Amino acid sequence: MTDKICLVPKDKIDEVLAGDLEDRCIIQKTRMTRHMTGLLQYVHRYEQLSNIMDKQPIKFLRIMTRKHDSQKDQEKLLTQRGKKEMVNMVVNLMKGMRLVKTGKRQAPGTELLLTLMSSPVLQKSLSVTGVKRCTHISCVTPDRVWVSDSYNLILTDTATCKQLHSVNNSLNDKSLLFAPGLHTVNCDSELIYIDKDNNINKLSSDMKTTTTLIKHTDTTWEPVCVYCSPSSGDLLALLVVRWRCDTNARTYTGKVMRYDNTGKHKQTIPHNDNTPHDLYEEPRYITENNNGDVVVSDWGRDAVVVTSGEGVHRFSYTGPPPSGSGLCPRGICTDVMSHILVSDITTDTVQMLDRDGQFLSYLLTTQSPGIHNIVDIPWGLSYDVTNHVLCVGSWSNKTLSVYRYINRHLALSAMEKT
């Protein structure tokens, strides 16, 4: 081993020792420092963009679409984090919005602001051709909605008031004088509805193909309402036993069935000892909140009954303070800020609750524009997630009214500084 060391060429040793060794170290250190500084600047820029993406998604999208020298770095960043992840972050930010005392809704740390207007603004009202009442509404686009009464299911153009399509074999049951929510729309703009044989069908967006998603086989239970979750794509079906005779008394009960988008059963509510088996009495309308809660309008209990996504009872809302009673709920929906909106035929109002069931306000009353002289008795409710407006259907006539009650905007000054 010693012999091999001695064989190192002398000229190589002289090359290493040539010149001022201290100066050579300083030069090398300087080069390394510059290189590390460059790396740190890149890391800092990456962290900046990552922070903006997490907290200010709209601003991030605007930055990423600009054309400048670091476009390749931005494309690399998008590849690393993934477009899907970025979209999910935007959705999760919307889910995390909460009510604050100022009346504003916002996700913590973001400049995306949601502001409750001082009073709702009536944008338009139209008379829907082909129905006698507007007891249930499913929004497809800002200009297209499905509207139904007890016997008819109509696709309407809200801009022209023209009837675009009708479904002939939808639920047509004269014993159901108060029509439930027999239809919904999935993320592909396809209609999902309950037909007269209690099957749950899907109509393609081009209105040409009808598919049976869930065949009705258990005659003990009958579906009265369906709702498609925009976040998961799951289908929630509300089923009831219409009546049982116990000592000559007529009683009702109900349950919620969750299916995936192919019609495969995933969950039943109530399902275990954590949820009382008398959870529902006469449930008729169902929706889902942004936090996964299942929200049901129960006509037998005169309450809005809410369970967690796992099926555990969270609360039942029976009316506004001070008494907390007197509610006669009908149509129900939730909005982008996780409000629960319910129409009440006792007071002819639309009431707004927070996600925990606390009464916030009478969103619409008989004094609101269009309610007294147009809608009269608000019944069907649907929140348009594309245009962020509330569609309200009337029980007393075939009027559909569209209200805006949320202002949505960005802190543009901060964006312009970027």
Could you give the domains of the chain?
Answer: 2-88 (no CATH), 112-410 (2.120.10.30)
Q: Are 210 and 202 in contact (CB under 8 A)?
A: yes
Question: β-pairing, 329-334 with 340-344?
Answer: antiparallel
Query: DSSP letter at 181?
Result: -
Tell whether the torsion through CA atoms of 239, 243, 245 and 248 is positive or negative.
positive
- pLDDT reported for residue 82: 53
Residue 241 burial (C-beta neighbours within 10 Å; 0-12, 13-18, 19+):
middle
- pLDDT reported for residue 239: 87
- pLDDT reported for residue 266: 93
> Would you state the structure tokens that stand for residue 111, as one six-digit string?
């400049």
Q: One digit per residue, pLDDT tens: the chain, 418 residues?
A: 444 444 555 565 555 555 566 666 666 667 776 776 666 666 666 666 665 655 555 555 566 555 444 555 555 555 544 555 555 555 455 544 444 333 333 334 333 577 899 889 999 989 999 998 899 999 998 889 999 987 889 999 998 889 999 997 666 554 444 557 899 999 999 999 999 889 999 999 999 999 999 999 988 888 999 999 988 899 999 888 755 445 555 566 889 999 999 999 999 998 765 555 689 988 999 999 999 999 999 998 999 999 999 999 999 999 998 877 789 999 999 999 999 999 999 999 999 999 999 999 999 988 877 665 555 789 899 999 888 899 999 888 888 999 999 987 654 444 444 4
Q: What is the DSSP string of 128-164?
A: PTT-S---EEEEEETTEEEEE-SS-EEEEETTT--EE
- pLDDT reported for residue 225: 93
- pLDDT reported for residue 257: 94
- pLDDT reported for residue 240: 82
Q: Given the structure tokens 């209105």, which residue do they identify? A: 207
Q: What is the DSSP string of 186-206?
A: -TTS-EEEEBTTS-EEEE-TT
> Would you state the structure tokens that stand for residue 313, as one six-digit string?
């009872």
Q: How far apart are CA 327 and CA 275, in angstroms?
A: 23
- The one-letter amino acid code at 14 reads D
Q: What is the DSSP string of 204-258?
A: -TTS--EEEEE----TT-EEEEEEE-TTT--EEEEEEEEEEEETTEEEEEEEEEE
Tell me the β-bridge partners of 244: 251
> Would you state the structure tokens that stand for residue 193, as one six-digit string?
């509805």
